[in-house]
Amino acid sequence: MRRLLRPRVSLGFELVALAAWIALAVLTVTGDSHGSAGADRTLGTGDSHHHVSTAHAVHGAAGSGGLAMWGLMSVAMMLPAAVPALAHVGTNSLRWRRQRAMATFAAVYLAVWIGYGALLLGSTPLWARLPDDAVLACALALAAAWQLTVHKRRALRDCHRSSPLPPAGWRAVAGAGRFGLRQGGACLRSCWALMLVMAVASGRSGSGMLGWMAVLTGIVMTERLARKPRRPTHLAAAVLAAAALAVALAAAGWRWY
């Protein structure tokens, strides 16, 4: 309890991530996140996910704030995973420039994820015509498989590495930026498949999207904060594989029905 109540240099960024979660919850509850209500009205049914691809919904949102929504999801889901690195930047920077160094790190780190989001939004026409459930099941299976690869283990190991930071001047700014780029790249290599699942699931109903966000954020945080991440990584692979099977069976049962 004393550790939780002790002042933390990264508290401001933790509050920013919390604010992003609140904003996403408000947007999904009010139906403004991806225009899913409009899609339901067009089809005249609440079962739009069996007929319209989620990727199509995400791609259609790109022109009206889809990248901004992805940026908000990145802040909510990935910024908490960067808290240990933010704390490293804060505690190893001079007091008078601590917040500037942490902001530089966070900006570069999130820019990596926003760039990945732009890539996903630009590539959605490649899979926009496929059924929703098939795309989600494939994304979950891909994420489960990636969890077990040596590349995932190496990327996760890189996520736990720190870097020496110059104390002052432009070298300090550049050092914080390089560290943000290094951490963002390692985190992207580790979690790109999980965030692909999030991109696919983001076109579902508001509560469904928030549920997927909570599950995937839990996986990311557990892997990032665990002292021995191999066990939670394997557990996450089993959970993702089970979810892929459940989605595929549910889709097959619906079509048979």
pLDDT in tens, 174-225: 999 999 999 999 999 999 999 999 988 876 666 678 889 999 999 999 998 8
Res 49 pLDDT > 50? no
Residues 6+ apart with CB under 8 A from 15: none
For residue 46, CA distances in Å to 36, 50, 128, 129, 150 come to 10, 10, 19, 19, 42
pLDDT digits (tens, 9 = 90+) for 72-116: 999 999 999 999 999 999 888 888 888 999 999 999 999 999 999
The fraction of the chain above a pLDDT of 90, given in percent, is 49
Regarding predicted confidence, which is higher, 157 or 56? 157
Query: What six digits make up the tokens of 106?
Result: 């966070």
Whole-structure pTM value: 0.83
Compute and round to an integer the Cα radius of gyration of the chain.
19
Number of separate helices (H) and strands (E) present in the chain: 12, 0
Using pLDDT thresholds of 50, 70 and 90, give the confidence band for residue 255: low
pLDDT of residue 104: 95
